[in-house]
Amino acid sequence: MLHIYCPYCEELREEEEFSYSGEAHIARPTDPEALTDAEWGDYVFFRKNPRGLHHEMWNHAAGCRRYFNATRDTQSYEIHETYKMGEKPSVTSQGAAQ
């Protein structure tokens, strides 16, 4: 079982309390009307599927019920950090992590 640090409860909690909610930091297009069908399809359906670091949303479903972000390694399952909504990750594939 994973121990996940909830940035709102400020505690490590059991994985059982959480649910995974997909890729983080997907900005909604400001002008959806101007998009082509392909661009809209990309926004709605297509997600990164990296081998390695992945920024993703989790929901503390059985706890505070807030969404937060996590940086997880999809190979090792290691969670490098969790951070509140609206914050930027400090561990990215461009630096820091290595």
Partner 1 sequence: MTSLHSPLAHVELPEAHAHAGVTLREDKFRGHLNLRGNPQDEAFTSAAEKVLGVALPTAPNSAVENDAVRVYWLCPNEWLLLVAEGAEGQTEADLRAAMEGQHIAVTDLSSGQTLINLSGENLPEVMMKSTVYDCHESNFPVGKAVQTTFAKAGATIYKCADGSYDLVIRRSFADYIFLWLKDACAEYGLAVQ
Show contacts with partner 1 in window 38-77 (CB under 8 A). 62-66
Q: φ, ψ for residue 56 (rounded to 5)?
A: -145, 160
Residue 31 touches partner 1, criterion: CB under 8 A: no
Nearest CB to partner 1, comparing residues 51 and 65 = 65
Show contacts with partner 1 in window 1-30 (CB under 8 A). 8-11, 13-14, 16-17
Residues 6+ apart with CB under 8 A from 16: 1, 62
Distance between CA atoms of residues 18 and 91, nearest Å: 21
- Write out the residues near partner 1 by the rule CB under 8 A: 8-11, 13-14, 16-17, 62-66
